[in-house]
C-alpha cells in the first residue's frame, strides 16, 4: 500500500507523510509559542530562525545528498570549524577575502571528494571514513591554533552587519539569501538533473542502479564532494555570523545536521526524502531553541532533550512507513 488516508487531505502517498508531519509540528510549535509568549507570533521570529541557522541549513543540504544515497557524513561539523580557522588565519595574515573564500571552498570540496573516493573504491563504511575525516579536520584546527582568532576584515565585518529590509520592520541577513540560493540550486539538481535521479536510485537500491548502468561510483563520490563544499560554505557563513575562527566552533553540528535531515523526513536508509523537509527540519530545531530562549527558565540542554525525543519519534515513524511498504 503506497498511500494512506489523511483527514482533510484524502489519500496521500506515504512518502509525503513524514514531511507533512514535520510541517504540522512546526505550525503547532509556532502557534503554541504565540499563545504562551508575548511577541512570539511575529514574522521576524521565523526570520530570526533563518538568520541564526543559515549556516546549519547549508550544511544540512549537503548531508541530505549523502543520506539520500544511504550514506552518512560525520565530518561536516569539523570541516565547518576548519573553514573558520582557515578564514580567520589567512585574513589575519593580510590575504584578500575573495581568494580566502575560494580556497576554503576548494579545501572543503577536496576533503569531501577524498572521503567519497575512499568509501567507494576501498569499500569502507562511510561511518568509519567520515569519522576519520572528522578527527582529521578537527585536529587540523588545533594545528592552526588553539585560541579563538577574531576576524576584523572590513569586508567581512560589513557583510556580517548588513541587513536586508523586507518592509514592515522585517529583515534578513545576506547569509539567509546565500542559504536560499544553495537550497534552490540543490532542489534543481535533485529533482531536475540526472545526478539527482541517480542519487535517489542509488539510495533506493544500489545493486539495481548498477544493473541499470547508472554511474554509481561517480555519483557516490560526487555527493561527498557536494557535502564537503556545503560544509565549507557553512563554515564561511559561520565566520560571518561569529566573526571569528575557533577550533571548538560547530561542535556537534554534524549531529544537528543529521537530525534536521531525519526530522525533515529523509530516510536514513536512503532513497526517499526532500530538501523542503530538510528546510522544515532546520526550522524545527531553530524554533525549539527560540522557545527555550523565550521560556527563560530552562537550560539550553533541554534543546538536546527535545531533539532526541523528536528523533526517536521520527525514526519510529519511518520504520512503520517502510514496514508497511513491504
Q: Is the pLDDT of residue 266 over 70?
A: yes
Predicted TM-score (pTM) above 0.75:
yes
Alpha-helix runs per DSSP H in 150-297: 154-161, 174-192, 194-204, 206-211, 216-242, 253-263, 275-295
b/e code 205-221 from CB counts within 10 Å (16+ = b)? ebeebeeeebebeebbb
Q: How confident is the model at residue 303 (pLDDT cuts 50, 70, 90)?
A: confident
Chain-centroid distance, C-alpha 10: 32
Give Cα separations from 51 to 76, 166, 175, 199, 294 (angstroms): 20, 14, 7, 29, 17
Q: What percent of the chain has pLDDT above 70?
A: 94
Q: Taking residues 251-263, report their average pLDDT.
A: 93
Q: Which three cell numbers stand for residue 154?
A: 572590513
CB neighbour list of residue 313: distance below 8 Å, 6 or more residues apart: none
Q: Which three cell numbers stand for residue 170?
A: 522585517
What is the per-residue pLDDT across 182-203, written as a single tens digit (0 to 9) for each?
999 999 999 999 999 999 999 9
Domains (range + CATH), the chain: 3-325 (1.10.3470)
Q: Taking residues 294-304, report their average pLDDT.
A: 77
pLDDT at 171: 95
Which candidate, 261, 252, 260, places its Cα nearest to that of 286? 260
pLDDT at 1: 44
Amino acid at each position: 500500500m503506497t498511500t494512506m488516508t489523511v483527514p482533510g487531505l484524502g489519500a496521500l502517498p506515504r512518502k509525503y507523510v513524514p514531511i507533512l508531519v514535520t510541517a504540522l509540528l512546526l505550525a503547532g510549535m509556532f502557534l503554541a509559542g504565540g499563545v504562551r509568549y508575548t511577541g512570539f507570533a511575529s514574522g521576524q521570529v521565523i526570520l530570526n530562525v533563518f538568520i541564526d541557522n543559515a549556516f546549519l541549513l547549508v550544511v544540512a543540504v549537503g548531508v541530505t545528498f549523502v543520506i539520500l544515497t544511504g550514506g552518512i557524513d560525520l565530518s561536516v561539523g569539523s570541516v565547518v570549524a576548519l573553514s573558520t580557522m582557515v578564514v580567520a588565519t589567512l585574513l589575519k595574515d593580510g590575504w584578500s577575502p575573495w581568494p580566502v573564500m575560494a580556497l576554503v571552498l576548494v579545501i572543503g570540496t577536496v576533503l569531501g571528494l577524498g572521503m567519497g573516493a575512499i568509501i567507494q573504491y576501498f569499500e569502507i563504511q562511510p561511518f568509519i571514513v567520515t569519522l576519520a575525516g572528522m578527527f582529521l579536520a578537527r585536529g587540523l584546527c588545533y594545528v592552526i591554533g588553539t585560541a579563538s582568532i577574531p576576524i576584523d576584515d572590513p569586508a567581512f565585518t560589513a557583510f556580517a552587519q548588513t541587513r536586508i529590509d523586507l518592509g514592515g520592520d522585517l529583515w534578513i541577513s545576506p547569509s539567509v539569501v546565500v542559504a536560499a540560493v544553495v537550497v534552490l540550486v540543490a532542489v534543481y539538481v535533485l529533482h531536475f538533473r540526472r545526478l539527482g535521479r541517480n542519487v535517489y536510485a542509488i539510495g533506493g537500491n544500489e545493486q539495481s542502479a548498477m544493473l541499470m548502468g547508472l554511474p554509481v561510483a561517480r555519483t557516490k563520490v560526487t555527493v561527498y564532494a557536494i557535502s564537503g563544499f556545503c560544509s565549507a560554505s557553512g563554515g564561511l557563513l559561520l565566520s560571518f555570523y561569529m566573526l571569528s575562527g575557533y577550533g571548538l566552533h560547530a561542535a556537534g553540528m554534524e549531529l544537528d545536521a543529521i537530525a534536521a535531515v531525519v526530522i525533515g523526513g529523509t530516510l536514513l536508509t536512503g532513497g526517499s526524502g526532500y530538501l523542503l523537509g530538510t528546510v522544515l527540519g532546520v526550522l524545527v530545531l531553530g524554533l525549539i531553541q527560540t522557545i527555550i530562549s523565550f521560556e527563560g527558565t530552562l537550560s539550553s540542554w533541554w534543546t538536546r532533550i527535545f531533539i532526541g525525543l523528536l528523533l526517536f519519534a521520527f525514526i519510529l515513524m519511518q520504520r512503520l512507513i517502510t514496514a508497511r511498504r513491504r
